Amino acid sequence: MIPVSQPFLPPKDEYNVLISKIWDTKWLTNNGMFVQQLEKELLEYLNISSLHYVNNGTVALQLALKSLDIKNEVITTPFSFIATTTSILWEHCEPVFVDIDPKTLCMDPEKIEEAISDKTEAILATHVFGIPCDVEKIEEIAKRHHLKVIYDAAHAFGVKYKGESVLKYGDLSTISFHATKLFHTVEGGAIVNNTGEKLDHQITLLRNFGYEGEDYITAGINAKNSEFHAAMGLCNLKHIDEIIMKRRIITETYEQFLGNRLERPFISNDIQYNYAYYPVIFETEEELLFIKSKLERNQIMTRRYFYPSLNKIPYLKNTYSCKISESIAKRILCLPLYSDLHLDDVENIAKLMTGESRNELTYNGWSRIYRF
Ligand SMILES: *Cc1c(COP(=O)(O)O)cnc(C)c1O
């Protein structure tokens, strides 16, 4: 079976060396040595100035909203993982959906201003699949209307825009280090703060129950992560360049077989990409379902990522229409991509999709676009 994603695991010996140290010190959590070391190494690797390691990417989003004291309407994207929306709801804020740009699949900045009301406090946009939002336009709009900007950069580890980490944009950016992400610490995440020390202090406080010594300053939460998780991160970080390189080669192999046959999100030359996902966009949902089940019969797993469009989830108070996101969510499929995926398998997946492998089932809609 070929899964849609598979976590990278470092050589066991490398992890064991660090784990033995935990046995020596018996320090398991609460801002331990490995947590501090991981934060330091991530700052260096990403070339950013402030990062707070937390226990997952969803809590990172919640802390981001909380630390900026956001309480009302948040303009957000319908094309993202469910946690982008639920973190807004969990903080008792109102998500206001703005449709996406069909090329980049990120929030369309041209549609932001018409969604701003006197209750709008922030923009929470996702660098979806690691493709940066139009950060310059969003910044300009946010300045003009005095809005805070948070980027859900869960997919954007290692992505550069005009030579600099994309995490440098927005007041805050959040990342996920979940096992399915490009760089992982089993569970984990981080908040990148671009606003200075005041917010660093607030995030540190909120991450640790809201108290300092014997001073109970604010109602915080437990967002700390453990030494075991940080140790996994330290091991994985040593292999990250190799992980990204292998993913690039896999992506180029897909491109070679599928690139000019299937619609793909647009990645501009300003972007140094991380090869986090390989999404393809079909002409119709029927075509997607046909290919998905065909691959499944061949033990190849794919994922409808993201489906449905988040403005359509059933527990929202208000209804929003986001035609582009709704249409793309029905037609987009992520193909298997992980560093240990064999190139032979990539070729096989592509050939099954294009009908070039033998004993094919064919499909009228599909063949309309492809060769027969
Ligand atoms: C994975 C993900 C999250 C949540 O991160 P967790 O670490 O799983 O909590 C948030 N947003 C996006 C876009 C994601 O893909």
Q: Mind listing the domains of the chain with CATH numbers?
A: 12-237 (3.40.640.10), 240-370 (3.90.1150.10)
Ligand 1 center to 264 CA (angstroms): 22
Give yes or no for residue 85 CB within 6 A of ligand 1. no
- Condensed to tens digits (0 to 9), the pLDDT of residues 255-310 reads 999 988 899 999 999 999 999 999 999 999 999 999 999 999 999 999 999 999 99
Sign of the torsion formed by the C-alpha atoms of 283, 285, 287 and 293: positive
b/e map 139-172, b = 16+ CB within 10 Å: bebbeeeebbbbbbbbbbbbbbbeeebbbbbbbb
Q: What is the DSSP string of 90-140?
A: HTT-EEEE-PBPTTT-SB-GGGTGGG--TTEEEEEEE-GGGPPP-HHHHHH
Q: What integer pLDDT is reported at residue 371 of this predicted model?
A: 34
Exposed / middle / buried, residue 118 (Cβ in 10 Å: 0-12, 13-18, 19+): exposed
d(CA 169, CA 163): 13
Give yes or no for residue 126 CB within 6 A of ligand 1. yes
d(CA 312, CA 199): 34
Ligand 1 center to 358 CA (angstroms): 39
Give yes or no for residue 101 CB within 6 A of ligand 1. no
Give yes or no for residue 81 CB within 6 A of ligand 1. yes
* Best probe residue, ligand 1, of 61, 84, 100, 175 (max atoms within 8 Å of C-beta): 84
> Which amino acid residue places its CA nearest to atom 7 of ligand 1?
57
> Which amino acid residue places its CA nearest to atom 6 of ligand 1?
57
Give yes or no for residue 224 CB within 6 A of ligand 1. no
Give yes or no for residue 87 CB within 6 A of ligand 1. no
Contact assessment for residue 302 and residue 279, using Cβ atoms and an 8 Å cutoff: no
Which residue's entry shows tokens 């582009």?
A: 324
Residues of the chain with pLDDT under 70: 357-372
Ligand 1 center to 344 CA (angstroms): 30
Ligand 1 center to 332 CA (angstroms): 18
Give yes or no for residue 132 CB within 6 A of ligand 1. no
Ligand 1 center to 182 CA (angstroms): 12
Q: What integer pLDDT is reported at residue 163 of this predicted model?
A: 97
Percent of the chain with pLDDT over 70: 96
Q: What integer pLDDT is reported at residue 364 of this predicted model?
A: 44
